[in-house]
Structure 1
Amino acid sequence: MQEHPLIEFRKVSRYYGRGEATIRALDQVDLSISAGQFVSIMGPSGSGKSTAMNILGCLDVPSSGDYLFQGVPTSGFDRQQLTLLRRHMLGFVFQGFNLLARTSAVENVELPLVYRGMEGRERRTLALAALEQVGLKGRENHTTQELSGGQQQRVAIARAIVTSPAVLLADEPTGNLDTKTSVEIMELITRLNRDQGITVIMVTHEEDIAAYAERQLRFVDGRLASDSAAGQEPAHAV
C-alpha cells in the first residue's frame, strides 16, 4: 500500500473579495510534502506564501480545492476539528516570538499543554525537557524581558515542540535576529528536523536562510512557480 504524503494541496485556491475586487491569493496550487522533509517557502510580497502558510497551519481554509493532512481531506472539518488538528499535530514559531511578557520561560512553554488539559506536574516536566533541548537549561525561570532575542526565539521553539508535533511551521523565524543568532536558530531547527524527524515548513525572504532547507518552494502571483532540492536548479511548476 502506497503511503500518503503528510501534507497535500490539491488545486488549492484562496480568493478574497468579490467581483472585480477579487484577489487571488492562491490559484490552483498542487503541492505535496512528505513526513520528515525540511521545506522553505519563498516569494515576493503578495506572492501567496503567507496565505499558503495560513492554510497549512489551519488558520485559514481554501476557497476551492482541498488540503489533505495524512491523507485525510480537511475540507469537511469544522472549526473545532481544525483547532484539534492545530493543537495536536502542529507547532508554530513566529518572527515576533509571541511570548507572554512578565511570564517565565517555563510557563510560556507549558501553555500549549494547559490547552490540552494536562496536569501541572507532567506539564512542568515536559516544558523543562523542551527548554533543555533548545539549550536553555538554567534559564527556565527567567522572564521574557530577561532574555535576549535569540533566547526568546529558543523559548518559542521549545513551546512549539513541547507537544511533539508532526509539523513545525516557522514564519520568518530569524526575521528579528542578527546574523550570528540567526545561524544558531537555524542550526537548532535543522537538528530538530534531522534528529527527531519533525517536518519543518518555513517561510522566509532570505536566500541564505532558505538554503538550510532540503527543498525550496517559490510562489509568484498566487502560484507555485518552482520547486527545487537544495543545490539543484529549480524545477518550474506548470
Structure 2
Amino acid sequence: MAPAPLIQFRQISKLYGRGEATIRALDSLDLTIEAHEFVAIMGPSGSGKSTAMNILGFLDVPSSGQYLFQGMETTGFDRSQYTLLRRHMLGFVFQGFNLLARTSAVENVELPLIYRGMDARERRKLALEALAQVGLAGRENHTTQELSGGQQQRVAIARAIVTKPAILLADEPTGNLDTRTSREIMDLITSLNRDRGITVIMVTHEDDIAAYAKRTLRFVDGHLQSDSKTTEVADDVH
C-alpha cells in the first residue's frame, strides 16, 4: 500500500466574522502535498495564502473541513497536540527573521532544543552543526547586531532546521533582502530540499523566487486558482 500523502486538505474553509460581515478566507479548499516537494504559494493580498500557511503550520485551525497530516486527522487536536507537531515536525522561517537581539547566533539556534528539554552539551553540538550547514561556521558567537540581513536569515534557517523537521515553512523568506542575498538564501533553501529531503512550502509574491520551487499554487479569493509544476528553475534566476 502506498504511503499517505504528507499533507491533505479536504474541503478546508476558514471564516472570520459573522453574518454580513463574514469573510471567507478559504473556501472548500482541496490540496495535497507529498513528502520532499518544494512548493511555492502565491496570490494577491487577501487571496488566502497566509491563512493556508497558518493552518498548514498548526498556527490556526479551519472552520470546517479536514486536515490530514501523514494520513492522520488533525482537525480535532487540542493545543498541546498542535504544539508537539510544530515542535517535532515543522521548522519556520519568516520575513522578519525573529531573532533575539543581543543574543549570539548559536544561542538563537539552540532555542527550539531548549523547548525540547535537551541537555546543554547536545544542544550546543547540534546548533553548531546547523550553523555550519548554512555557511556560518566561525560566526557562532556574533550577536544579531553584528550580522548582515542575509546572515541573520541564515541563522533563522539554522534555527528552523536544527530539530531536523520534515517540513520547512517559509513565509516571504527573502522579503527583507537584496537581490544577490535573496539568491543566496534561495540556493540554501533549495539545497535543503534537494540534499536533505526537507519538504519546503514557501509563500512569496515574487515570480523569480517562486521559480525555485518545483510546483506553484496560486490562490485567488480563498480558492486554488492554479497548480502548476516547474520542470527546471529558470536560467535567469541564478
TM (norm. structure 2) is: 0.97
Tell me the equivalent position of 2:203: 203
TM-superposed deviation, 1:76: 1.7
AA in 1 matched with 2:166: A
- Note the C-alpha offset of 1:113: 0.2
Structure 1 counterpart of 2:172: 172
Post-superposition offset of 1:180: 0.1
Secondary structure, counterpart of 1:8 in structure 2: strand
Unaligned runs of 5+ in 1: 233-238
Secondary structure at the counterpart of residue 205 of structure 2: coil
Quote the Cα distance in structure 2 between the aligned partners of 1:2 and 1:133: 32
Opposite residue 61 of structure 1, the aligned amino acid is: V
**Structure-1 residue corresponding to 2:119:** 119
Partner of 1:97: 97
The CA distance in 2 between the partners of 1:172 and 1:41, in whole Å, is 10
**Structure 1 residue aligned with 2:28:** 28
Mapping of residues 1-238 of structure 1, within 5 Å: 1-230=1-230
Which residue type is aligned with residue 124 of structure 1?
R
Q: d(CA) in 2 for partners of 1:124 and 1:69? A: 31
User: How far apart in 1 are the matches of 2:176 and 2:2?
Assistant: 41
1:158 maps to a residue whose letter is A
Distance 1:30 1:194 in 2: 26
Which amino acid in 2 is paired with 1:159?
Answer: R
Equivalent residue letter for 1:168? L
1:197-221 residue CA offsets vs partner (Å, 9 max, x unmatched): 0000000000000000000000000
After TM superposition, give the deviation of residue 2 of structure 1 in Å.
Answer: 2.0
Q: Secondary structure at the match of 1:135?
A: coil
The percentage of aligned residue pairs carrying the same residue is: 81
Distance (Å, rounded) in 1 between the aligned partners of 2:11 and 2:116: 33
Distance 1:12 1:201 in 2: 18
Distance 2:49 2:202 in 1: 10
SS of the aligned residue for 1:58 comes to: coil
1:75 Cα offset (Å): 1.1
**AA of the residue aligned to 1:132:** A
**Distance in 1 between residues matched to 2:230 and 2:170, nearest whole Å:** 18
Q: Hey, what's the Cα distance between the residues in 2 that align with 1:21 and 1:231?
A: 42
Gaps of 5+ in 2: 233-238
Secondary structure of the equivalent of 2:110? helix
In 2, Cα distance between equivalents of 1:70 and 1:89 = 11
1:171-214 alpha-carbon deviations (Å, 9 max, x no partner): 00000000000000000000000000000000000000000000
Deviation at residue 152 of structure 1 after TM alignment: 0.1
Q: Distance in 1 between matches of 2:118 and 2:32?
A: 33
In 2, Cα distance between the equivalents of 1:156 and 1:230?
A: 27
Per-residue deviation, 1:143: 0.1
Distance 2:185 2:227 in 1: 24
Instruction: Determine helix, strand or coil for the equivalent of 1:11.
Output: strand
TM-score by length of 1: 0.97
The amino acid of 1:128's aligned partner reads L
Letter in 2 for 1:188: L
Q: How many residues align?
A: 232
Alignment-derived partner of residue 236 in structure 1 = none
RMSD: 0.8
Q: Separation in 2 of the partners of 1:137 and 1:75?
A: 41
Structure 1 position 231, deviation (Å): 5.1
